[in-house]
Chain A
Amino acid sequence: MDLKFSHADRSFRDEARAWLHANLPRERRPHSGDAMRQFDLAWQRRQFEGGWAGVSWPQEYGGLGLSLTRQLIWHEEYARADAPDNHLCFVALNHAGPTLIARGTAAQKRDHLSKILRGEVIWCQGFSEPNSGSDLASLRTQARIEDGELIVNGSKIWTSHGHLSDWQELLVRTDAQSPKHKGISWVICDMKSPGITLRPIEIMTSPNQVHFVQCFYDDVRIPLANVVGEVNDGWNVAMSTLGFERGTAQVRDQIRYAYLVEKMIREAQRRLGSDSPLSNDEIGARLAQLRADMAAARAMTYMVTSRADAGLHDSRSSLMRAMVGDTQQRARRLALDILGPDALENREDDDWVYFYLRSFSITIAAGTSQIQRNIIGERVLGLPR
């Protein structure tokens, strides 16, 4: 048990800090559309050219091949520098890429991995369907196999940034007769394929904010060579990388949120008079508890990283996810209460209200907090199904 970082780890940290300081994008990240896509790709490209893309990706695929601890350090410095999150690259870097590394063919790796690290392509996820949310394995988008091709028909929904993406990791049903987990395939889908139409979906934050699309597939032809892993083994392929990085990327968010709480304390002092947040009124008590909980969230990431470094792969990281989701939501709500009447203004130059509304997705996306609690109950505590 220790908190020490090796000499080599500390030099790595210094280098990362210096590079980030010198190379941060100076302009503000656009909130939507092609401008946002161009911004995220350019920032990813700059990280690649600087030699910082894919810290824990194997070297043979263009990564740095370093430990999870180094990956953690990179994320910590990234957040400390307040570097913009290139959300559009998230699926490619944290899910599609690692899935191809784990299960892709040589040709699939060659065609896609270096483009991901170089910031040339955006990937999106085609998992959820209108009738398959928490019960993902019940998905019904169908693919029949004809002359070396998959012919896809059906619909996917809640596809974040689908309208800005080049590729999609798509789960389709290739066998309707087998048990539901055993008839699914994981497919690389070109978003420009004929037969794909997209319906933009506005989200609750503010007017005209398109975050998701619904995708419709009408006889979309995809080469069989785009199946990752075996046909009908897609469920296992998808599960193999759901825990990629074992949560080290979460530390970015945790440090950002810890800074947010510090900012909230200053704002509360400014708005409520300098003594008020320190006296034990309601806002002060909530800020204090939040400050403590944010520290604990970071400690939980250290535990998850320690366990992964020791080769312990278990469901305990779901405890961190559940705790962090609730705490972040609580922070966004408190930020609103600090604003008082001004919370009724959803201003573009002041994003607390926008992110409060946005925070409702934290406990829904990638498995609702209720599903998380089922997983904790069954896999961590061993309670019966």
Chain B
Amino acid sequence: MNFLLSDEQTQIVDSLGSFLADRAPVSRFRPPAPQIGNADREFWPQVGELGFLGIGLPESQGGIGFGAAEEMLAYREFGRHLLSPSILGLTLAVRLAARAGSPLLEAALAGELRVGLANARRDAKLGSDCSGEFHLFDAADSSWVLICGEAGAALLRRSDFTDVSPVLGTDHVIGLERGRLIAARPEIWVDAASEPVYSRAQLLLAAYAVGIAEASRDMAVEYAKNRQQFGKPIGSFQAVKHLCADMAIRTEAALCQVIFAGLIQAEEQEGVDFHTVAAKLVAVDAALKNAASNIQVHGAIGFTAETDAHSFLKRAHLVEQLWGDSRHQRHRMLAAAFPD
């Protein structure tokens, strides 16, 4: 039993981290940058070239041949840098295409397939035909849309959606639309019974949430060390210090549970549902609370668009909603079998 990263895993994380620090600093969303939508998809081909879209896919299928643990570590970095969550559409499209033997695999692995995400709003039914009302994320110039749910995952054409209309998103750097599916047949449908695609998606969202929690903690601590009031750094005051300590405690709990769930998935041990749902709940809670505390530690400047604090908060809410919010996950938590 060992929860520490291997040397190889550390290298993977470091190389991804430095690529993203250069290509995707969180400050990319600050004014005067356009406040609606983002250009992250422009560097998906580079992410593909670095191997991260097929990191969990066997080498025989064109992937890198790592497992759930490495994929989880990559998503933690994606969360730290607030990559458009549509990258999860690509990661899962790779998985679906590989499973279905689809010719889309090559373009997906290369980051050239344009895939947005969809999340159920009401009356959603997923399967070999899909219906209901959905939100679409970063899907406006995508040809494809990925939806995941407890039943499985579907890759649909964007043109399958009707009544599509744009809406201002709460997380406004993500393009948001409403749309409807009426008995649409997915290009690829993978049943959760045949492939644990839902639990993998939830694990990666939880890892992304850990990244948000960590980045918010680090930003708050850095500010508390430097910002002076009453002639001292504000971090020397217990009221602020304890806010930061709470952020560190939550982050550690979330990180450890996400690692636990990742290893359970990687080693196909008992308790995948139990530990994955726990990971999503704990990680989303840490992301939401840390993002809020980070704004508080910053004071008035934290309330502006001139810092990145609000970006973490808004993204945390989006991640919470994706494919089952915390209210829903709490139901699943109680229904999961307790792994003794």
**Residues of A participating in the B interface, judged by any CB pair closer than 8 Å:** 1-5, 69, 72, 80, 258, 262, 265, 277-278, 280, 284-285, 287-289, 291-293, 295-300, 302-303, 305-307, 309-310, 316, 319-320, 322-323, 370, 372-374, 376-378, 380-385
Contacts and interface: CB of A to CB of B under 8 A. Distances in A.
B235 to A, nearest CB: 4
Nearest to A373: B245
B207 interface: no
A382 B225 contact: yes
A253 B245 CA distance: 23
B253 A1 contact: no
B1 interface: yes
A258 to B, nearest CB: 8
Contacts of B281: 288-289, 292
In this complex, the member of A3, A262, A300, A384 whose beta carbon has the largest number of chain B beta carbons within 10 angstroms is A3
Nearest to A309: B2
Interface stretch (B90-98, B129-137, B186-194, B259-267): B259-267
A303 B259 contact: yes
Given A1-B3, A2-B267, A287-B334, A376 B248 contact: yes
A377 B249 contact: no
Contacts of B267: 2-4
Given A3-B263, A295-B278, A384-B235, A306 B1 contact: yes
Interface in B85-129: none
A376 B249 contact: yes
B173 interface: no
B331 A292 contact: no
B246 interface: yes
A322 B263 contact: no
A257 to B, nearest CB: 13
Contacts of B229: none
Interface string B263-293: 1100101000011011001100100000000
A296 B248 contact: no
A381 B282 contact: no
A322 B254 contact: no
B249 A319 contact: yes
B333 A292 contact: yes
Given A1-B262, A295-B282, 8 more contacts: A1-B259, A3-B1, A3-B263, A278-B335, A296-B253, A299-B260, A381-B221, A381-B245
Nearest to B262: A1
A69 B249 contact: no
Nearest to B271: A295
B222 to A, nearest CB: 10
27 contacts: A1-B3, A1-B4, A1-B9, A3-B269, A258-B338, A265-B334, A278-B335, A280-B331, A284-B331, A288-B281, A289-B281, A291-B333, A293-B282, A296-B253, A296-B260, A299-B253, A300-B252, A303-B3, A303-B255, A319-B249, A322-B245, A323-B253, A373-B241, A377-B235, A380-B248, A381-B244, A384-B236
Interface string B327-340: 10111011100101
Contacts of A280: 327, 330-331
Contacts of B248: 319, 376, 380-381
Interface of chain B, main secondary structure: helix
B225 A370 contact: no
Contacts of B242: 370, 373-374, 377
Of B1, B244, B257, B260, the most chain A CB neighbours within 10 A belong to: B1
B52 to A, nearest CB: 18
Contact of A299 (B257, B331, B338): B257
B23 interface: no
Contact of B246 (A277, A373, A374): A373
**Interface core residue of B224, B248, B277 (most chain A CB under 10 Å):** B248
A278 B332 CA distance: 9
B30 interface: no
A205 B127 CA distance: 56
Given A288-B281, A289-B330, A302-B1, A374 B259 contact: no
B150 to A, nearest CB: 16
A296 B242 CA distance: 21
Contacts of A3: 1, 260, 263-264, 267, 269
